[in-house]
Amino acid sequence: MKGSLLLCLSVALWAVLVPTSAQEITLKEAGPVSLTLTLNFPTGTGSAAFNVYYNSMDPGCTQVISNYMSGKTTPPSLFDGVLPLSGAWIPATVPTSTYTITGLQPGTAYGMALVGVNSVYSPVYQSSLEGFTTTDLPAPIAVLADALSATSAEVSWQIPTNISRLYHTNPINITYHVDYYEIDPTPCFSRFSTSVPGTSSSVILSALVPSGAYKFEVYSETNGVTSEKVQGIVTLPTSPNITAVDREPLLEVAAGFDNDILLKGLGTRDGRWGWDDLCKWYGVTCNSFGRVVGLNLSTVAGPYVFNLGGTLSPAIGQLTELVRVSFQGQQIGGELPAELANLTKLEEIELKNNKFSGQIPPILFQSWSNLLIMEFGQNSLGGYIPPDIRMYKMQRFYLYNNEIEGTIPSTITRMRSIERLNVGANRLSGGIPYFTQADFPNMTFFGCSDNGITAPGFPTQFCDIPKLDKLQLSGVVLTGSGPELNFPSCLGHLSNLQSINADEMGVTGDIPATFMSLYNMEVLSLFQNTLTGGVENLCNMSKLEALDLSRNSISGSLPSCFGDMQNLVYFKLNENKFEDEFPYWIKNIKLQMFNIFDNFFYGDLTNAVFYPPGNCSLTHFIVGGNQLSGVVGGFDECSGSLLFLILAENKFRNPFPSLNGSFAGLQKIDISGNEFSGAIPSVLLNAPNLVDFQTARNGYHSNLEVLCQLSFLDTIDISNNSFSGTFPPCFQTSEKLESVNVADNLFSNIDALILNENIQILTASSCNVTGPLPYMSKNSFTSLILSENPINMEISDMFDRLKGDTASSLVSLELSMCGLYGGISPVDFSFLRESVLSEQGNALNTRRVIDRVPVFEKLRSMDLSSNKLNGFLPTINTLEQIDSLDLSNNEFVGEIPEAYSAVRLLKLDNTYIQSSRKQLPSFLTLRPSDVQKNDTFFFTCPGIVNVIESRSSSVDAFYLDYTHCTCNDGRYGLPPNCYACPVGTECTGGNLRVQPGYWAPPEALHNVSLNLPTNFTALICYDDKLGSNPCNPPTDDEQECKLGYGGRLCSLCVNASNSQYFRVGRECRSCVQLGFLSLGDVLPAIYALLVVGLAAYLILKPVSTSASGLVKSFTTFLQIVSYLKTSGITWPSDVNNLLEVEETASLSISAFECLLGTDVYTKRVLITLALPIATLLITFIMYWFGVVIIVLKYKVLEVRRKKRKYWKGKCYFMVLYITSLLYISMCRTVLMSFSCHTPPDQEGEPITYMTWEPSLVCPFYASSSIHWIFAVTLSALFVYILGLPIIYIILLRRSRQKSESIVRTVSTNFLCAAYKDEYYWWDIVVKVKKFIFVALMVLPPPGSAVMPIGVFGVVLFFALLESVVRPFKAELDNKMEVAAMYLTLIIYFLGMLLMVDTIEQ
């Protein structure tokens, strides 16, 4: 301003002395930093020399430049700042010339003078000129000015189409400036300026001088760069006097404000007029009739900031001619007067950024039918938007940042002229009304962000608003599902869209392909949604200036097209799933915000460049949480801009990022979680104003003293490094430190931090700090975390060192795992204070009062867990204010005091506290739905919870001695002793039950019943019949075996329910009771008689009977098939009955066991092995009985001899026949004693049990009690099993030796009568077949594949052999034998199908 005033004075003086010619200097060309002049030198100036002078000035004050320097020998001294651009004079002999002034400022007005002087510096010529340098920033166009009243005027313009407009998410601010000054009647008296945001296109100039002429200039500005200035002139009419109607109301309005500057008359524009002329007050506009039509006291409307305060008087409603009211930013509070409804002519009301509260009078929405602009944003207004809206002309409707409730009424569609609607940041709920283009044909902006509004899917009605350029829906919660949550593709057809704010909506899916058509997009903010896919569809947004896609699930690569977006300054992709190489293309654009935190970017940043060369505007460089590596540098040119440098959680290494230069603006550095090591770098001193330094999880170990020199540091995090020893003493006097984290280092002494009286948050857990700690009586800690240090102090001593300022300010105290010991007394939480009180204000009448004052007055959280604290739980006199108290894992005893009910989060588990009455305190209760699991001892208890839902209590089940707990499924016993459930059992609710089909030793189950540990494996029992198992039937809860079963694996048949049971295969059946006979009981007896009768028939028939072959085949078939009943195959009951009938062919009737009275294996073996002896004995008796009869009947000796010989042969025949029938049963009985196996999962020395008698230890096992059985059966093997075929061979060979052909006698008839002579020995083959068949059935262990494959092969082999050899004389016998073998094969195959599951097991 000084230069312009001096130039104005010089103009006035020079104009008097020197004649002028305005045509001798002209502007040829203007550039951003230069002006080119054309100089036309006048004639008749003699030998004058010329020079050019210039100055940046107020163009309105630039008049004629004259010379006042007559007689001076030096250039004019008054031209300070008006610099000669050439050291040499321009010769006057040159008729014309051009001259270029350089080094100017873009968009600036300059005054220039061509000065001619003679040799003694007397002025002989001058000429002056105004000029403007150009700028790349477009200037406003179509500038107009209209006088609104005698004291106000409106200047308007059009915004150039190519200018950038950014909104609140963009750090760049484009501003329009209007400079104005009075040129008539007092030119150059004073200069004013006002500014508006880049989205505005007009401004009201208030408090002007009536009848005055004002010159104005309009220009745009951003970051110090201005456009050309567009000029204009406006003349005001004469000021009327305010009418009596408006005078008093206006004074009342002024009196309602706290600031009475208006009432004192100082509110006028220049203070020259009295306060009685109210129309001349600053901001007051009157019409030609003296009525007040405008009140404009907004901070954005002029140079004055009144901060009026107070309230808006209801008297404003009496100013009924008001058209415009603006009180923006004036701190006015109170409620809006309902009298505002009287202002029916109101067109604009702007109350933004005040303190208005209460409900917006609903009547305003009906009365202001002429209203165009309603700006109530940034207040505390409540109420609701009434459905009866009559603002038919409304263009701008702003209620954002208030406390409006209710819903957005569907009647907003009555405001058909609306252009901009913003109701964001309120308490609105419900949905967004549906509307179409017909409802809002001119809408350009819609905003309802940050409310409680919901929508089933992304609102599609905006697709029908073609002029829409700005959409703010952040915080609108989408409640639907599926594709309706995706961005509608139709949004991409809104070609005018410049800004979309859709943060925190729950939008899903990919970014639509139609977004490729949003060429005008400048701001796209989609923060915290669930977007997926890639970002390729944003590549055509060449005008993009701000992009925020943070906190989504976007993945894939980052296309290089973003490197071509020259306007992009704000770039946030943090917390997504991008996986790509680092975007090195950022060096091509002037980014300010670059944030790719928490993605999967990779690459080596060594030598990488992050900004255009020589033009760094980076303020935020945030690349933490990726997979980047290398050495980071290249920030030297960012010293004037860089604010945040975040490199955390990567693999960067030394050296520290280059910070050469002065980084005075750098506030935060976070390099945590990298591979830096060594000493803290001294280069940090180049950031003297650093506030936050974090280098956790690195390998630094020294040079902490550098941080002491950063006097503005308030936050330090060096946790998890390798520092050790004593913390540097210099930190004790650091004045700005507030938060320090040194956890997980090896500091043995941190006294410097503990004694720093400014630190509020100190985290030093796991630091190897030892006690005793220093006294902290003067500290101001709010949070002190010293957990996991070997402090090893008595708890009362620890509390003594905290008492004082530290204790009174502490909010959070953590001392877990510190080796603290001893008991806590009430004294530790309070101290005695003595006060002197005067009674009734009489200083002479006083009394001394001693009361107990809490030590921890502000404590909200205390953690003393995992120490060795003992005694009773402490009584704390500030429990009602504590939010969290953790005393777990200590040695406290006793019961929980009722006072603990006030604690909001209480942890007392893993202590020795226990209720002697097994009762909980009144504030705790058991909640079965809130289970408490003990994973160490495997039991579950109903949760012990606080009766108040908002509070949480953790108390160990030991408090009630586990009486309410049960062992987990899979465990048995009583908590805390819960044992693993053995194999083959199931445990629920602590109870053990052997699974159906399994058997457990009784002694083990007895230990279980006594809640003792036991170690056994339940064994799988054999099925007794198809689909049935005798062990632990599901329907029987009390017996281990089914009725009639007992012993190991329930393999014995026992007496039960006054009934005796016998064995059929593995099934136990009740013995026959008279009157209760069944088919299965009767048929064996009948068939036994049939077999005996057949035997008698064969004995009595002649030797050569042909029936013997058929009998042999049929008997062999029945013996083999009937043996399948006891082979381990679980047949259906009816089939089992039939097989039992056939079993009589082996003279083995199962019901015979009923005669024994018990199911004893040894008796059965002995009886079976005694049958051949019994047969011989009975035959011997029959023989002598027959001899006696013969002697008595026949007297002739020769006849006696023949009859006796014949009878002897018949007896031999009977012995051979019966022993043949017994052979297969004898084989089974003998071989069963050799079939043993060892059960799985046995502890200690394994025990081997008999396969077919699972209750008995194998006879040849050391601990067996039936060793003699082995000797008996082994003898029977040689004597009978092998001996019988040998006897047959001897008999046949003796008979063969008597003749070439077999001699068939009565004794050998049974053996060979049915066979051909050449196959007389075939009965020996049959015996071998039976033996092999039985051996394969008996000897393999259970489930072995040897048995089914072997038996199947043997039967098939003999079937094929007999079909080839055909040994019988009668062809029918041969066919019968072959058919019997194949039928046996089929029956066995069907039985194998029933055994598939058993074999697999």
Q: Contact at 8 Å (CB) between 944 and 934?
A: no
* DSSP assignments along 96-154, one per residue: EEEEEE-SPPTT-EEEEEEEEE-TT--EEEEEEEEEE---SSPPPEEEEEEE-SSS-EE
Please calculate the CA angle 689-691-697 and round it to the nearest 5 degrees: 125
pLDDT digits (tens, 9 = 90+) for 802-847: 877 667 788 899 999 999 999 887 766 654 444 444 444 444 454 5
Q: Contact at 8 Å (CB) between 1340 and 1346?
A: yes
pLDDT digits (tens, 9 = 90+) for 238-284: 666 667 788 889 888 988 998 776 655 444 444 433 455 677 777 78
90-104, 565-579, 673-687, 1200-1214: segment of lowest average pLDDT: 90-104
pLDDT band at residue 454 under the 50/70/90 scheme: very high
Mean pLDDT, range 673-692, rounded to an integer = 92
Quote the crossing angle between the two packed helices 1322-1338 and 1283-1297, to the nearest 10°: 170
Mean pLDDT, range 425-429, rounded to an integer = 96
What is the share, in percent, of the chain residues with pLDDT greater than 90? 31
| Gap between the Cα atoms of 1310 and 1232, Å rounded | 29
Asked whether residue 955 carries a pLDDT value surpassing 60, the answer given is yes
Asked whether residue 1146 carries a pLDDT value surpassing 80, the answer given is no
Mean pLDDT, range 1051-1059, rounded to an integer = 78
| Gap between the Cα atoms of 961 and 918, Å rounded | 7
Q: What amino acid is encoded at 1077 in this protein?
A: L
| Gap between the Cα atoms of 706 and 836, Å rounded | 50
Identify the residue whose tokens are 């701000």: 546
Residue 1043: predicted pLDDT: 82
Q: Reduce the secondary structure of 160-176 to three states and give it as a string.
A: CCCCCCCCCCCCCCCEE
Residue 1156: predicted pLDDT: 58
Residue 1036: predicted pLDDT: 56
Asked whether residue 849 carries a pLDDT value surpassing 50, the answer given is no
315-329, 464-478, 536-550, 1229-1243: segment of lowest average pLDDT: 1229-1243
Asked whether residue 535 carries a pLDDT value surpassing 80, the answer given is yes
Residue 458: predicted pLDDT: 94
1070-1079, 1224-1233, 1350-1359: segment of lowest average pLDDT: 1070-1079
Query: Can you name the residues that pair with 971 across neighbouring β-strands?
Result: 980
Task: Report the SS3 class of residue 1291.
Answer: helix
Residue closest to 1312 by CA, chosen among 1289, 1330, 1334 = 1289
Beta-carbon contacts of residue 565 (< 8 Å; ≥ 6 apart): 541, 542, 543, 544, 589
Residue closest to 1367 by CA, chosen among 1328, 1327, 1323 = 1323
Query: The tokens of 258 are what?
Result: 């706290």
Residue 621: predicted pLDDT: 95
Task: Report the SS3 class of residue 216.
Answer: strand
Asked whether residue 71 carries a pLDDT value surpassing 50, the answer given is no
| Gap between the Cα atoms of 307 and 309, Å rounded | 6
Residue 10: predicted pLDDT: 38
pLDDT band at residue 570 under the 50/70/90 scheme: very high
pLDDT digits (tens, 9 = 90+) for 613-653: 878 889 999 999 999 999 998 788 888 889 999 999 999 99
Q: What amino acid is encoded at 361 in this protein?
A: P
Bigger pLDDT: 1379 vs 80: 1379
Q: How many CB atoms lie within 10 A of CB 1333?
A: 25
CB neighbour class for 771 (10 Å; exposed up to 12, middle 13-18, buried from 19): middle
Residue 1057: predicted pLDDT: 73
Residue 227: predicted pLDDT: 78
Range picked from 10-24, 354-368, 1067-1081 for highest mean pLDDT: 354-368
Mean pLDDT, range 40-52, rounded to an integer = 64
Identify the residue whose tokens are 């003898």: 1275
Q: Contact at 8 Å (CB) between 607 and 633?
A: yes
Beta-carbon contacts of residue 3 (< 8 Å; ≥ 6 apart): 55, 56, 57, 80, 81, 82
Residue 266: predicted pLDDT: 43
Residue 312: predicted pLDDT: 95
Distances (CA, A) of 111 to 57, 58, 100, 182, 215: 6, 8, 14, 19, 17
**Dihedral sign from CA coordinates of 1199, 1202, 1207, 1210:** negative
Q: Contact at 8 Å (CB) between 597 and 620?
A: no
Asked whether residue 165 carries a pLDDT value surpassing 60, the answer given is no
pLDDT band at residue 17 under the 50/70/90 scheme: very low
| Gap between the Cα atoms of 1401 and 1341, Å rounded | 12
Residue 1308: predicted pLDDT: 67
Mean pLDDT, range 1246-1270, rounded to an integer = 78
Residue 1158: predicted pLDDT: 55
Mean pLDDT, range 531-558, rounded to an integer = 95
Asked whether residue 776 carries a pLDDT value surpassing 80, the answer given is yes
202-216, 1014-1028, 1037-1051, 1136-1150: segment of lowest average pLDDT: 1136-1150
